[in-house]
Amino acid sequence: MKKKPVKWIVLAVVAVLIVAVAVWGKQYYDSRYVGTDYYTMVPLDYDMTSVDMNDINGKVIGTGIKYNLTAYNEQGDAKTVFFKVYDPDSDMSRGEKQPQPGTYLLVSVSEQIVLKWSVTEESNIPEKALAKIKGS
C-alpha cells in the first residue's frame, strides 16, 4: 500500500526536474543565440594588420583581422563587440570581405557572442546610434 505515495513523489520529482531543465535550457539558448542589433563603424585609423588566428589549443588555423569595436543599439547604449574575419586566402575563410576603415556595420550580439555582422549604410543606422558613432 505504501508504494503508491512513493510513485507519486518520484513522478513529482521527475516533473520538477524536467521543468527546471527546460527553464535552464531556454535561458541558455536566449543568452547564447538570441541577439540584439548594434551599429558601429570601423575607425579610420583601425589597424588592419593580419595576425595569426589560433584555435582553443593555441594551434594557428589561419590569419585574419581581429575587430574590437564599440557599438551602439537604437537607444545609443554602448557595447564592446569582438569578432574576427579571416583573410580571403586563409583555409578558414568563409568568403567574407574584411570590413575596411570607414565601413558601417550592423552587428547582432547575444549576451555571450557576436552572432553575425554585415555591412550597412549610414542611412540605415538609427539616429541615436549614429550620433554616438560620429561622436566617438
**pLDDT reported for residue 95:** 86
- What's the pLDDT tens digit per position in 86-95? 999 888 888 8
How many CA atoms does the CB half-sphere of 97 hold within 13 Å?
Answer: 7
CATH code given to domain 35-135: 2.40.50.480
CA distance 72 to 21: 34
Query: What is the residue extent of each domain of the chain?
Result: 1-33, 35-135
Of the candidates 69, 60, 106, 62, the residue with the CA atom closest to the CA atom of residue 88: 62
pTM of the complete model: 0.81
β-pairing, 104-109 with 114-120?
antiparallel
- What's the pLDDT tens digit per position in 9-18? 989 999 999 9
- pLDDT(3) > 70: no
Name the burial class of residue 90, with classes exposed (0-12), middle (13-18) and buried (19+) by CB atoms within 10 angstroms of its CB.
Answer: middle
